């Protein structure tokens, strides 16, 4: 496709069109890559302190616009205002953290006979970041900030439905003095602009977050050129509650572990596994907690859950909850907007689609288990392996189960998954590679070994 086209950006809480943005075609990607490659050479040659200072200024510009960015995210993505402020703050913090890594991105000198051996980390060149709509700002930054810090240029393709905060971040980068063309945002269709970025020979690495289906497709396209790729894909994460857990606390924490961001979260704890002797008691405690979640206008400070992103997503979520399945249901507004109530399904078979597939909506299942082995077996009974939670007062069990669950991000007596200074990513079909954490910059470098003979 090379015809000009536009993307309509809707407010998912009202279905009103709030902006229309030109979409990029392959020629735009070509031109952007050529400009980015030029900018990258100058950027890589700049002193580390200089690059770090630029990134800190970018962080400061984001900090000065947290409220504006957050309000924009409420309107384009339906995120609650509290979450949206956190998301803009996450971009700022990650830019600052990455800036701190610039002067610390060091190679090695390894002893060898007859000379000196240097291991040097070089930037890759131009990096393509393909971001999803569920966390448009943070996920864009998780690829962009460390890639820039390691001396690369970045072309970011935001999701079709959420280009606005990405475009604003690109403006802020320029206002903060980042070199022209170093960080470019190209809104556009995935199968057009995204695909062109993936195929482009001038793009050294693709950082993709999105569906497992498209992730596999991108990986196979990258294989043609052995292009570097990082994939953050789907999840179907367990929330394992043992009989010895603090049940009140576990039940109080469970709703927002899958309802936050309306469940459009790859780490959502959507499979609640409860040890049989406390199953009924847990469901009794869970019901009022789910029913009392405040769903509504995301701009309202008291709202805990907003709408889904789109009609497509709403239809997908509905398809998993046909008719009158038994369970717990919260409330949601009616009328315009892509609303779906908090839902917990009870009595499903462990192999039911809603129990093993990523719904990406405010829907969880509760399943009973017998003992520790059974819990681990159930926890691992999906193709995914992104995150998970373990609730128990037995520290030995917490460690055993953490070791046995095949997932990249686990939490004990907590649902926390994501910190910009700890590594994040999936096992199995949840992804490939890691983002964030102390090694984030290294993922955007190529390793070169140079031997220098000292023998006369």
Which residues of this protein are in contact with ligand NAI, per CB under 6 A? 130-134, 157, 159-160, 190-191, 194-195, 198, 209-211, 214, 217-218, 232-234, 266, 313, 316, 358, 360
Query: Minimal distance in Å, beta carbon 52 to ligand NAI?
Result: 29
Q: Which residues are catalytic?
A: 232
Query: Minimal distance in Å, beta carbon 431 to ligand NAI?
Result: 8
Phi, psi angles (nearest 5°) of residue 404: -90, -20
Which tokens sit at 327? 């369970």
Dist. CA 359–CA 174, nearest whole Å: 38
| Residue 130 vs 182, nearer CB to ligand NAI | 130
Dist. CA 238–CA 415, nearest whole Å: 10
| Residue 221 vs 380, nearer CB to ligand NAI | 221
Q: Dihedral, CA atoms, 62, 68, 71, 76, nearest 10 degrees?
A: -70
| Residue 316 vs 397, nearer CB to ligand NAI | 316
| Residue 297 vs 358, nearer CB to ligand NAI | 358
Query: Minimal distance in Å, beta carbon 228 to ligand NAI?
Result: 15
Query: Minimal distance in Å, beta carbon 154 to ligand NAI?
Result: 15
Residue number, nearest CB to ligand NAI: 190
Query: Minimal distance in Å, beta carbon 233 to ligand NAI?
Result: 5
* Residue 431: strand, helix, or coil: strand
Query: Minimal distance in Å, beta carbon 199 to ligand NAI?
Result: 9
| Residue 159 vs 256, nearer CB to ligand NAI | 159
Check if the beta carbon of residue 227 is closer than 8 Å to that of residue 126: no
CB atoms within 10 A of CB 177: 11
Tokens 């009595």 -> residue: 347
| Residue 123 vs 187, nearer CB to ligand NAI | 187
Classify the phi-psi angles of 95: left when phi > 0, otherwise alpha if psi is within -120 to 50, otherwise beta: alpha
Which tokens sit at 335? 């009328």
| Residue 188 vs 298, nearer CB to ligand NAI | 188
Query: Minimal distance in Å, beta carbon 207 to ligand NAI?
Result: 11
Query: β-strand 115-123 against 445-453: which pairing, if any?
Result: antiparallel
Strand partners, 229: 206
| Residue 275 vs 313, nearer CB to ligand NAI | 313
Tell me which residue of 128, 91, 121 sits closest to 103, measured CA to CA: 121
Check if the beta carbon of residue 244 is closer than 8 Å to that of residue 165: no
Which strands, in side-by-side order, build the sheet including 327-329? 327-329, 343-346, 363-369, 271-275, 238-241, 387-391, 409-412
Give the helix/strand (H/E) hosting 72: helix 66-77
Query: Minimal distance in Å, beta carbon 392 to ligand NAI?
Result: 28
Dist. CA 59–CA 434, nearest whole Å: 23
* Residue 103: strand, helix, or coil: coil
Strand partners, 327: 345
Q: Where are the beta strands (DSSP E) in 4-134?
A: 5-10, 17-23, 108-109, 115-123, 126-130
């Amino acid at each position: 496709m090379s015809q000009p086209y536009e993307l309509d950006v809707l407010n998912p809480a009202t279905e009103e069109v709030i902006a229309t943005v030109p979409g990029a075609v392959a020629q735009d990607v070509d031109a952007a890559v050529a400009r980015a490659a030029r900018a990258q050479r100058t950027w890589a040659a700049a002193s580390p302190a200089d690059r770090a200072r630029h990134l800190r200024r970018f962080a400061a510009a984001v900090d000065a616009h947290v409220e504006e960015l957050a309000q924009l995210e409420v309107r384009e993505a339906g995120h609650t205002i509290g979450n949206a402020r956190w998301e803009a703050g996450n971009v700022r913090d990650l830019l600052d953290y990455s800036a701190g890594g610039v002067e610390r991105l060091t190679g090695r000198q390894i002893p060898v006979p007859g000379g000196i051996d240097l291991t040097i980390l070089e930037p890759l060149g131009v990096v393509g970041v393909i971001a999803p709509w569920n966390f448009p700002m943070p996920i864009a930054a998780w690829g962009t900030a460390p890639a820039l810090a390691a001396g690369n240029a970045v072309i970011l393709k935001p999701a079709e439905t959420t280009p606005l905060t990405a475009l604003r971040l690109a403006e802020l980068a320029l206002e903060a003095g980042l070199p022209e063309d170093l960080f470019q945002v190209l809104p556009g269709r995935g199968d057009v602009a995204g695909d062109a970025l993936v195929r482009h020979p001038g793009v050294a690495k693709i950082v993709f977050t999105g569906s497992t289906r498209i992730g596999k497709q991108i990986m196979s396209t990258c294989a043609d050129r052995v292009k570097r790729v990082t994939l953050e894909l789907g999840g179907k994460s367990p929330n394992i509650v043992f009989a010895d857990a603090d049940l009140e606390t576990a039940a109080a924490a469970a709703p927002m572990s899958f309802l936050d961001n309306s469940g459009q979260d790859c780490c959502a704890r959507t499979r609640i596994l409860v040890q049989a002797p406390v199953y009924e008691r847990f469901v009794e405690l869970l019901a009022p907690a789910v029913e009392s979640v405040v769903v509504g206008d995301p701009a309202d400070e008291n709202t805990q859950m907003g709408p889904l992103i789109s009609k497509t997503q709403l239809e997908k979520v509905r398809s998993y909850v046909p008719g009158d399945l038994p369970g717990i249901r919260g409330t949601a507004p009616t009328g315009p907007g892509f609303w779906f109530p908090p839902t917990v399904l009870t009595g499903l078979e462990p192999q039911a689609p809603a129990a093993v597939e990523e719904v990406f909506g405010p829907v969880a299942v509760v399943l009973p288990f017998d003992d520790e082995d059974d819990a681990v077996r159930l926890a691992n009974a999906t193709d995914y392996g992104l995150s998970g939670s373990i609730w128990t007062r037995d520290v030995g069990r917490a460690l055993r189960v953490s070791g046995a669950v095949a997932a990249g991000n686990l939490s004990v007596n907590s649902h926390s998954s994501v910190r910009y200074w700890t590594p994040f990513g999936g096992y199995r079909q949840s992804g490939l590679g890691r983002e964030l954490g102390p090694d984030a910059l290294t993922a955007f470098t190529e390793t070169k070994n140079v031997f220098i003979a000292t023998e006369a």
